[in-house]
């Protein structure tokens, strides 16, 4: 598949179901694993221009489409272009569009492009962004947006919430690397070996998090041992911790380092990345607008909290603005070999976003100011 996919006419963008499905299918047919989003970004820029938006690709590789700037609120819709590795055959069968990214998260991003194109006359400005590398620890695309674009008046992040669902909160994430070395010795020597020190460090993580740690609740931290390598002389661990609202990430890292020092291991603990948990107001303007969109097509809004992390966390660290996450698709299919999206749900998602943007035309505008400085990144 090349990027010369036919672009539906501007008159159909966001209103004709066939044009909307063609857009998503064309996106799925362009492989875009993290770090290889360039072809998809160029394709989306062409589509956006064909649908009457201005479009550009920034220095990080993000694609940015905009309506004309008019007096009124500036609303950003941001989803990610990248997928995990492993391309799936793209096909439409039984009302389901299959392909890598159908749910996570090109379905939500395509719905955003359609909804923005349908509001080219928005009284204010709409900005739709496809970011790179959300599926990596650093979220490089969203970080770049937070540092280089002026703060909008409101933000909708695109992830699969199910068309009646609205994600109002995500846990934070703390990614750690631990390395430890020991002199070579015989396996029967009673001194602690590097592999044993690494295993003991993992136990320190669990003990410091407490007996309630786990991934079942939004209110408690949960740790995952992502990777481990090593032998008697050198060992390395990769640990990912999902953190609740109010969790002291800096204090936790300091406590781990203190334990390691007290026990004389001499390990090296590095913070790969850290973002804090975020929880939006249930009655905030973005949640209300999305709820109105869901009700407009006969649905009942379902505000939810997720134990995972998204670019909503990343941007909440620089922009104190109304925000929520929304998108058609079933998050249970993320990264799976069965990834697909129901076409009817995708079209419902477009309708919800289109109505929500209409609701946000009266949002009060603030001082958008300049780009922010991200905190919590190491």
Peptide bond before 81: cis, by omega within 30 degrees of 0? no
Q: Which of 166, 141, 169, 26 is nearest to 78 (CA)?
A: 141
Q: Which of 276, 324, 267 is nearest to 75 (CA)?
A: 324
Active site residue 175: no
Mapped to the 3 state alphabet, what secondary structure does the chain carry?
CCCCCCCCCHHHCCCCHHHHHHHHHHHHCCCCECCCCHHHHHHHHHHHHHCCCEEEECCCCCEEEECCCCCCCEEEEEEECCECCCCCCCEEECCEEECCCCCCCHHHHHHHHHHHHCCCCCCCEEEEEEECCCCCCCCHHHHHHHHHCCCCCEEEEECCCCCCEEEEEECEEEEEEEEEECCCCCCCCCCCCHHHHHHHHHHHHHHHHCCCCCCCCCCCCEEEEEEEEECCCEEEEEEEEEECCCCCHHHHHHHHHHHHHHCCCCCEEEEEEEECCEECCCCCHHHHHHHHHHHHCCCCCEEEEECCCCHHHHHHCCCCCCEEEECCCCHHHCCCCCCEEEHHHHHHHHHHHHHHHHHHHHCCCCCCCCCCCCCCCC
Contact between residue 340 and residue 97 where contact means Cβ atoms under 8 Å apart? yes
Active site residue 212: no
- Single out the catalytic residue among 134, 175, 260, 311: 134
- Single out the catalytic residue among 22, 66, 82, 133: 82
Distance CA 327, CA 1 (A): 26
Residues serving a catalytic function are 82, 134
């Amino acid at each position: 598949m090349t990027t010369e996919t036919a672009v539906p006419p501007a008159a159909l963008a966001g209103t004709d179901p066939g044009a909307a499905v063609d857009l998503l299918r064309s996106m799925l047919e362009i492989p875009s694993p993290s770090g290889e989003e360039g072809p998809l970004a160029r394709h989306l820029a062409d589509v956006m221009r064909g649908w009457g938006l201005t479009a550009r690709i920034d220095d990080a590789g993000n694609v940015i489409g905009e309506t004309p700037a008019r007096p009124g609120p500036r609303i950003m819709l941001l989803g990610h272009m990248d997928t995990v590795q492993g391309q799936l055959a793209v096909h439409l069968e039984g009302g389901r569009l299959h392909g890598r990214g159908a749910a996570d998260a090109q379905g939500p991003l395509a719905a955003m492009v359609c909804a923005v194109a349908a509001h080219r006359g928005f009284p204010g400005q709409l900005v739709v962004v496809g970011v790179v590398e959300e599926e990596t620890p650093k979220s490089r695309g969203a970080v770049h947006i937070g540092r280089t674009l002026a703060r909008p008046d409101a933000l909708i992040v695109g992830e699969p919430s199910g068309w009646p669902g609205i994600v109002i909160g995500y846990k934070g994430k703390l990614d750690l690397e631990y390395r430890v070395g020991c002199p070579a010795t015989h396996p029967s020597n009673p001194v602690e070996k590097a592999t044993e020190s690494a295993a003991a460090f993992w136990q320190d993580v669990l003990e410091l998090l407490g007996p309630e740690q786990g991934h079942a609740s939004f209110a408690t931290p949960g740790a995952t041992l992502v990777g481990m390598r090593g032998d008697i002389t050198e060992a390395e661990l990769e640990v990912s911790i999902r953190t609740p609202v109010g969790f002291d990430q800096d204090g936790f890292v300091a406590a781990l380092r203190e334990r390691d020092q007290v026990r004389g291991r001499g390990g090296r603990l590095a913070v790969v990345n850290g973002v804090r948990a975020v929880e939006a107001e249930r009655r905030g303007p973005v949640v209300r607008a999305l709820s109105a969109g869901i009700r407009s097509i006969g649905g009942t809004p379902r505000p939810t909290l997720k134990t995972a992390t998204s670019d909503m966390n990343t941007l909440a660290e620089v922009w104190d603005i109304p925000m929520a996450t929304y998108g058609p698709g079933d998050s249970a299919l993320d990264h799976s070999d069965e990834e697909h999206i129901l076409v009817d749900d995708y079209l419902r998602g477009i309708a919800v976003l289109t109505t929500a943007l209409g609701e946000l035309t009266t949002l009060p505008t603030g001082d958008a100011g300049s780009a922010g400085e991200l905190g919590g990144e190491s």
